[in-house]
């Protein structure tokens, strides 16, 4: 397994079962008052976006970069969805052209069979009144060595 930081909360996780692109963000957000530092705009986003799986933890604009996702991320990637009580994240990703979704159950280990092998993941959905119905989440590799948490 190889983990590559792509800035802010973003990672590319490469496993024998495929690659997972997590929370890619490059474009300024919130009226350009938020931006990735250090600047990650010169990364090879076409290569990074050629992933097998996509994980977006939540809809805050420093984790959900619609322009980047639309322009550079493989629309055939399987999207790993947190167990949120509303479909907002799935709906926004569908609008961008994503069409393969794997809906997880909160804090349950899942095994996905893909063309490169079996991938085990667990997503912890964090929901609180302060966050509204679509809070935050964390991706965990329950059996991988080394373990990771995004």
pTM for the whole structure: 0.93
CB 100 within 8 A of CB 73: no
> Tell me: the pLDDT tens digits for 18-57?
999 999 999 999 989 989 999 999 999 999 999 999 999 9
Task: Let me know if residue 148 belongs to a domain.
Answer: no
Task: Let me know if residue 91 belongs to a domain.
Answer: yes
Total domains in the fold of the chain? 1
Task: Let me know if residue 74 belongs to a domain.
Answer: yes
Task: Let me know if residue 147 belongs to a domain.
Answer: no
**CA 130 – CA 16 distance, rounded (Å):** 38
| pLDDT band, residue 136 (cuts 50/70/90) | confident
Task: Let me know if residue 126 belongs to a domain.
Answer: yes
Domain that holds residue 38: 2-140
Task: Let me know if residue 68 belongs to a domain.
Answer: yes
Stronger pLDDT, 40 or 149, i.e. the higher one:
40
CA distances from residue 99 to 65, 74, 149 in whole angstroms, order as listed: 17, 11, 25
Question: Residue 124: pLDDT above 70?
Answer: yes
CATH number at residue 59: 3.60.15.10
β-partners of residue 4 are 12
Task: Let me know if residue 149 belongs to a domain.
Answer: no
Task: Let me know if residue 20 belongs to a domain.
Answer: yes
Question: Residue 144: pLDDT above 70?
Answer: no
Q: What is the per-residue pLDDT for 1?
A: 86
Least Cα distance to 1 among 26, 25, 19 occurs for: 19
Residues in contact with 122: Cβ distance below 8 Å, sequence separation at least 6, in sequence order: 104, 107, 108, 109, 110, 139, 140, 141, 142
């Amino acid at each position: 397994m190889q983990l590559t930081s792509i800035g802010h909360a973003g990672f590319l996780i490469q496993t024998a079962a495929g690659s997972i692109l997590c929370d890619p963000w490059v474009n300024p957000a919130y009226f350009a008052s938020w931006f990735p530092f250090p600047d990650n705009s010169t990364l090879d986003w076409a290569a990074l976006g050629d992933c097998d799986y996509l994980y977006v933890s939540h809809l805050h604009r420093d984790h959900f970069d619609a322009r980047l996702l639309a322009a550079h991320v493989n629309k055939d990637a399987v999207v790993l969805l947190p167990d949120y009580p509303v479909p907002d994240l799935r709906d926004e990703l569908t609008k961008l052209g994503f069409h393969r979704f794997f809906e997880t159950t909160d804090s349950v280990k899942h095994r996905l069979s893909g063309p490169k092998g079996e991938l085990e993941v667990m997503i912890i959905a964090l929901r609180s009144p302060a966050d509204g119905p679509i809070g935050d989440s964390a991706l965990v590799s329950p059996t991988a060595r080394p373990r990771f948490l995004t």
